[in-house]
Structure 1
Amino acid sequence: MSKWRSIAVAAAVAFMSALLAVVLVPGPASAHGTMMMPGSRTYLCWQDGLSSTGQIIPINPACGAAVAQSGANSLYNWFSVLRSDGAGRTAGFIPDGQACSGGNPGYTGFDLPSANWPVTHLTSGSQIQFKYNKWAAHPGWFYLYVTKNGWNPNRALTWGDLESQPFHTADHPDSVGSPGTNDAHYYWNATLPSGKSGRHIIYSVWKRSDSNETFYACSDVVFDGGKGEVTGVGRTGPSPDPTVTPTPTPTPTGGSGSGCTATYQTVNSWQGGFQAEVTVANRGSSSLNGWTVKWTLGSGSSITQMWNGTYTTSGSAVTAKNADWNRTIAPNSSTTFGFTGDGTSGSPTLTCTSP
């Protein structure tokens, strides 16, 4: 083989290897949602670790082990256990022992077997209202499975541990709240499987109908006659929607009489990074048809991902624009977009304009 032919073959092999890596390995997850009732592992561990400073310091030992393996980002992005190439697939697509992470390498700590995961107490055969966080709204179906009797929480979940058929399917359920907030969710009523007692996992699969993106979640439960109480999160009581006490920064409107205002708040912060949310409100008397928010990042800071909006940067200057679904804001209404970043959040001054 000639020297030039060898070089060409090597280049082709390198190209195909890179292409396969792009196709087969899931990329960074974008924020979307997870089960809230009964709470998923990532959701309840995030709730368990919330501190008054906005940092996440898990108290629960299973949550602590998960963060030690997967890093703090797995909790700050508790709503991102997904596969962009999932297409609703489960067994045969995701390996045994990786069901709780959905085969997503950023969440392998949540596959660890433990009897210490936070649990929701339920009554077998009763009807409950399931709640699923929709940080970003997408149409689709929800499939709910449950583990077989005799499942052992001290071993990693396999597909053979789950009943072969879902005990409930929700077809494009109703939703409430504004995407990009913790209280925005899909909800539906369903009857829990009968004949169950003790520790189990309710396994949820959210299959989008507008793309192949699929979300996976393990919710640890105890069928003991409970009505939704949660234990193992540093406190005992009804399963609440989490709240963070941010410090909003009011900002001026942009454009004379536009009615567009933008308010910034730091939702979470950690060593070397942060999560923020911006509320865009219409204080005018007519609907906004599109909006643009601008601000300047602090020195050394950058945006890593954004949801419910699009953005461009020029140096430290950020320009964020509406997504298609939240383009129009009625008078006295608002929408939100969120983002994560490297560096520090700060308290930037924002301007908001509308065409």
Structure 2
Amino acid sequence: MPSPAEAHGAIQVPGSRTWFCYQDGRNPNTGAIEPKNAACSAAVAQSGVNSLYNWFAVLRSDGAGRVNGFIPDGQLCSGGTGGPYNFTGFNLARNDWPTTHLTAGRTIQVKYNNWAKHPGTFSLYITKNGYDPTKPLAWGDLEPTPFDQVTNPPANGGPGTDDGHYYWNATLPSGKTGKHLIYSVWSRSDSTETFYGCSDVVFDGGNGEVTGIGNGGTQSPSPSTPSSPSPSPSNPSSPSASPSNPNPGNGGCTAMYSVKSAWTGGFQGEVMVHAGTAPVSGGWTVNWTFPGSQTLAQVWSGKSTVTGSLVSVKNESWNGSVPANGYVTFGFLVSGATAPSVNNLTCTSP
């Protein structure tokens, strides 16, 4: 039976470990995950490359906004172990994660990726003075109440793109110096699904610069005291390792791709076909292109046709209807892959 549609997203400013490690590791030419940062490499060694292809999915479907007492000490950054993917490598107690440089007491513009859009509340916690990043993160290391909390902030772009995001201005706590960690919690108001994330920061007078990605260079920061831009219409998707498609509006569908497993010479993928606020009742078609010499080997829960690099998958007779705010899935196997990626993912319905 279809389940409620899953949201997906992760904080990007200040960036979470999964988002920064995805940037650090993804080869822009092949789409392969090849971590350079030592902490990111250790996380991938423990959790596998799927943790970065699915960087936006540190979630608990049964979270219901719960924090202390629900996620065990030492497992905060992975959202515990009850989510759909293995993110336990991102709990590693290290001081060499990619880091955002900030100034205490300053206002920054927070950006939270909206890979899927849903209403809800975003809460930001911060570690207490004396935080030691080389010890496993426990709830007792965090200030007991959020320093910032916002419900249903505006959005720019998305869903289903690296660039689409919610945004809002937040004033950082004063009196903070040195290394700290910002813990983000996104609790949906239309389901119990909750997202968790760890962002490593240092209060050293910085203006949002990021270090530790790639070979240790510094990324250009986002403005630390911005004026909020006006939301823009959703943009079509661009090719990426985890492709996407435009907002379904009230009556269309969207498709969300994830990697289930990968090996030398192939991978297994899954596509979730989402309905918007109105149901899909006349069937659906999902299209994508392969970036290289990949070959579609098998599809289940859908009917496929292949023309060159273009793949089209239509619904079976029994899963052509998708309830409002719900989804159905289909899976597939690919051979001859240099990386588990697809491009230009779209979904259409009559």
Match of 1:223 in 2: 203
Kindly report which structure 2 residues correspond to 1:120-135, keeping only aligned pairs within 5 A, or say none. 120-135=100-115
Q: Counterpart of 1:293 in structure 2: which amino acid?
A: T
Contact 2:296–2:332, Cα closer than 8 Å, also in 1 = no
Deviating more after overlay: 338-347 vs 39-48: 338-347
Deviation at 1:175, TM superposition (A): 1.1
What is the match of residue 297 of structure 2? 300
Whether contact under 8 Å (1:55, 1:270) holds in the other structure is no
**Which of the pair is proportionally richer in helix?**
1
RMSD over equivalenced CA pairs, Å? 4.2
Amino acid at match of 2:58: V
Alpha carbons 2:54, 2:258 under 8 Å: kept: no
CA contact (8 A) 1:291 1:352 kept: no
Q: CA deviation at 1:139?
A: 0.5
How far the C-alpha of 1:342 sits from its partner, in A, is 3.8
- Equivalenced residue count is 286
- Check 1:347–1:38 CA distance in 2 against 1; reply closer, same or farther (3 A cut): closer
In the TM superposition, what are the counterparts of 1:232-311 in structure 2 within 5 Å?
A: 232-234=212-214, 235-239=217-221, 271=263, 272-273=266-267, 292-293=284-285, 298-302=295-299
Aligned to 1:58: 35
C-alpha separation in 2, matches of 1:349 and 1:170: 33
Partner of 2:59: 82
Q: How does 1:101-250 map to 2 (within 5 A)?
A: 101-104=78-81, 106-234=86-214, 235-239=217-221
SS at match of 2:297: coil
Alpha-carbon offset, residue 82 of structure 1: 0.4
> C-alpha deviations, 1:185-206, integer Å up to 9, x for none?
1110010010001110000000
CA 1:196–1:354 in structure 2 vs 1: closer, same or farther (change >3 Å)?
closer
Which runs of 5 or more residues in structure 1 are unaligned?
A: 1-26, 248-259, 279-288, 304-311, 327-337
Residue number among 44, 47, 60 corresponding to 1:70 in the alignment: 47
Alpha-carbon distance in 2 for matches of 1:184, 1:64: 26
Given the superposition, is the C-alpha separation of residues 56 and 352 from structure 1 closer, same or farther in structure 2, using an over 3 Å criterion?
A: closer
- Give distance in 1, aligned partners of 2:125 and 2:198: 10
Identify which of 73, 78, 93 aligns with 1:96: 73
Identity %: 54
Please name the residue that 2:313 is paired with.
318
Counterpart code for 2:10: T
CA gap 1:322/1:188 in 2 versus in 1, 3 angstroms:
farther
Instruction: Give the secondary-structure state (helix, strand or coil) at the position aligned to 2:94.
Output: coil
Give the Cα separation in 1 of the matches to 2:124 and 2:9: 15
What do residues 250-271 of structure 1 show as CA deviations (whole Å, max 9, x unaligned)?
xxxxxxxxxx9x9xx999x963
The TM-score with structure 2 as length reference comes to 0.70
